[in-house]
Amino acid sequence: MEFTIVLKSPKYRHFKMQTTLKLIRVPIPENGLHLLIKAKIGRRFYFLILDTGASESVLDKNLPANLFSSIEINDDAQTYGIQSENIKTEIGVVKTFALGALKLKNQPFHLVDLSQINELYGNFIDYRISGLIGSDFLNQFQATISYKTGKLILRKF
């Protein structure tokens, strides 16, 4: 099964770069499944959840401060959880962020405390979750997620 987020427009037929990433499948109790990807932030690798239901991409506010060129407290910056609760967030600009061959500088992310997610995931995985890649990022890079091959394809136009 493939799930593709693609805007239908002639200008999206040609792209400058494409990268393919291996997805890490994480079985969740009661027949669930979450997908993780490995991202390089600064000089280290971190694990992020691929979350097509999240409108905004977020990173854990507990990541080392030296990964960010700036962190802004913005009263207008907010995100919403699955239960529609309003969560105040900060905006952090990551100096360097890479997913495979896709290398970005000064990439903004919402910053939230992911301690509860890590407590929950700690029961069934050995990875520490450092963020979520949401629909904003997936749409920006015209993502294709293939459950059949276990790959994520990102394109830069």
Q: Is residue 117 part of a domain?
A: yes
Identify the pLDDT of residue 80. 53
Q: Which backbone phi and psi does 2 adopt, to 5 degrees?
A: -120, 145
CA–CA dist 92, 108 (Å, integer): 6
pLDDT band at 49 (very low <50, low <70, confident <90, very high): very high
Number of domains in the chain: 1
Contacts of 112 by beta carbon, 8 Å cutoff, 6+ apart: 58, 60, 61, 79, 87, 89
Q: Is residue 149 part of a domain?
A: yes
Identify the pLDDT of residue 122. 86
Q: Is residue 18 part of a domain?
A: no
Domain carrying residue 106: 2-8+23-156
* CATH number assigned to the domain comprising residue 120: 2.40.70.10
Q: Is residue 121 part of a domain?
A: yes
- This prediction has a pTM of 0.82
Q: Is the pLDDT of residue 46 over 80?
A: yes
Q: Is the pLDDT of residue 114 over 90?
A: yes
Q: Which backbone phi and psi does 16 adopt, to 5 degrees?
A: -80, -35
Identify the pLDDT of residue 87. 65
Q: Which backbone phi and psi does 93 adopt, to 5 degrees?
A: -105, 115
More confident residue, 28 or 145: 145
- Name the least confident of 46-55, 118-127, 136-145: 118-127
Identify the pLDDT of residue 16. 82
Identify the pLDDT of residue 8. 42
Q: Is residue 108 part of a domain?
A: yes
Contact between residue 57 and residue 131 where contact means Cβ atoms under 8 Å apart: yes
Q: Is residue 104 part of a domain?
A: yes
Q: Is residue 14 part of a domain?
A: no
Q: Is residue 17 part of a domain?
A: no
R_g of the chain computed on alpha carbons: 16
Q: Which backbone phi and psi does 34 adopt, to 5 degrees?
A: -120, 150
